[in-house]
Amino acid sequence: MLVLGMIAGAGLWMVAAVAVAMVIGIGAFVSTQWSISVIAVREELPEQGRDMEVLVGSRVPVCVAVTNTGRLPVAWVLAEDLLPRAAVDEIKETDDLVSRTRMGPLTVEGARLAVLALLPGQTKHLRYSVHCRRRGYFQIGPTVLETGDPAGMFRRYRLGTPPLFITVLPRIELISNYEIGSRRPMGEIRIRANVMPDPTRIRGIRQWQIGDPMRSVHWAATARTGTLHTKIYEPSSVIGATIVVDLHVSTNPDRNEPLRTDLSVTAAVSIAAALHEAGEPFGMATNGRDAADRVRTEGFRGDHRIGDHFAVRQAAGDATAMRRKSDRLRPVLIEVDRGPEHLKEITRTLARIERTDGLTLPEFLIDTEPRLSMETTLLVILQEAPPETVASLVGLSRRGWAVAVVLNAISIDDFTRLAAPLLAERIHVSHLMDQDSVRDVCREQVSR
């Protein structure tokens, strides 16, 4: 327009060309300055920094302070704190012509997106709270800042704050009575099979018979009656356990999620807590996926560069997304130990664990068998028991492992169908029906 105006002698064209050039130049300068000068800081962080732990049902306050550090007023900036869509959206499912709505594990109370106008040095806050309705490992953020020139010709995006990670711990139910014994003798609980008597537990006395060892003679009763009497001991067993949680997608179908998986996790952490209170050894193993490991390998990488602005926003959105498939086949295994720190480690791990399509339970047991403790019971919690799983558990039992199974089944008919082949091989099976049955699941194990 400027060249044509000079050739044709049209001053209006020349003025229009200069005006357009000034608008473009000023717009590019202003949008860049606004993007650089606006910063965001996440306030009210917990003491542990970017990682925090809460219980199911807690509300976590989130506060993001957006400040204009430049000398120019900012006409508008859009601040949005991103959350994983799978964690906050309601999912509508249709199964057998029945439609139902599944709530997300997080509920947002307040606005996590706002358009702000900032004077030089002014700070405004983005405040909302997150209601944690289910256990899990969730990423809050990052905060994306979007601004541009008043004419709308340029847009600038940047990441304002790094994300905050929240671990929602599962509920721990009080186990009424834990009596699952391993095959290691001389422990804390009485068992029915008289495999090896425990000399620390005297059940009674009787007259001495040929074949009784002299070290079991009850000398006080012998002196009092003038006839040899011998002590009768109770057989006992150690009550430690290695809790195995099956979380493969093929045996944990979508139609039962997320309730049945959460119930398995609640049962596992409650059993671990009961063993901790009893001072017994316990460990945990699962073929599930650790959400913290997923975030480290697939999630946020902390790129705050201002470059390809659309790519920055796209990367921020991808950082809060969850891949549906996982090709990582590394199992999660925590060695058998005692103590409160060990219980905390298992509780955190069970809170973060997710279903995966990696190792099935038989493949997982083959891979981890050399690293599992034979001095404890293998307490396997699962929803489905296909023939491959039954064969794997029977093989472990025949090789000398103490195996017990907790079937997480909704109905008694499903439990009977799944438990029959296991009971036929003398493997103890108990029924985990609902939240209330967690308290008695270990006692029912012995009464069968």
Residue 192 in any domain: the answer is yes
Question: Do 203 and 270 sit in the same domain of this protein?
Answer: no
How far does CA 221 lie from the centroid of its chain?
A: 59
Question: Do 217 and 266 sit in the same domain of this protein?
Answer: no
Q: Are 66 and 160 in contact (CB under 8 A)?
A: yes
Domain boundary among 138, 169, 200: 169
Angle CA(356)–CA(384)–CA(169) in degrees, nearest 5?
50
Question: Do 8 and 151 sit in the same domain of this protein?
Answer: yes
Question: Do 261 and 392 sit in the same domain of this protein?
Answer: yes
Question: Do 194 and 268 sit in the same domain of this protein?
Answer: no
Question: Do 355 and 250 sit in the same domain of this protein?
Answer: yes
**Domain range for 278:** 241-288+331-447
Residue 380 in any domain: the answer is yes
* pLDDT number for residue 169: 94
Q: Are 265 and 353 in contact (CB under 8 A)?
A: yes
* pLDDT number for residue 394: 92
* pLDDT number for residue 341: 92
Residue 70 in any domain: the answer is yes
Residue 271 in any domain: the answer is yes
Question: Do 144 and 17 sit in the same domain of this protein?
Answer: yes
CATH number at residue 404: 3.40.50.410
Q: Is 410 helix (H, G, I), strand (E, B) or coil?
A: coil
Question: Do 26 and 119 sit in the same domain of this protein?
Answer: yes
- Side by side, which strands form the sheet with 197-207? 185-190, 229-237, 197-207
Distance CA 142, CA 292 (A): 16
Residue ranges with strand state E in 288-407: 289-290, 332-337, 353-354, 377-382, 403-407
Domain count, the chain: 3
* pLDDT number for residue 407: 92
CATH number at residue 8: 2.60.40.10
Question: Do 123 and 221 sit in the same domain of this protein?
Answer: no
Enter the pTM of the model. Answer: 0.74
Mean pLDDT by 10 residues, the chain (448 residues): 68 74 84 89 67 89 92 90 79 49 81 92 92 90 87 83 89 71 44 48 77 82 88 63 92 86 92 87 91 69 43 54 54 89 93 89 91 86 92 90 89 90 88 84 50
Residue 306 in any domain: the answer is no
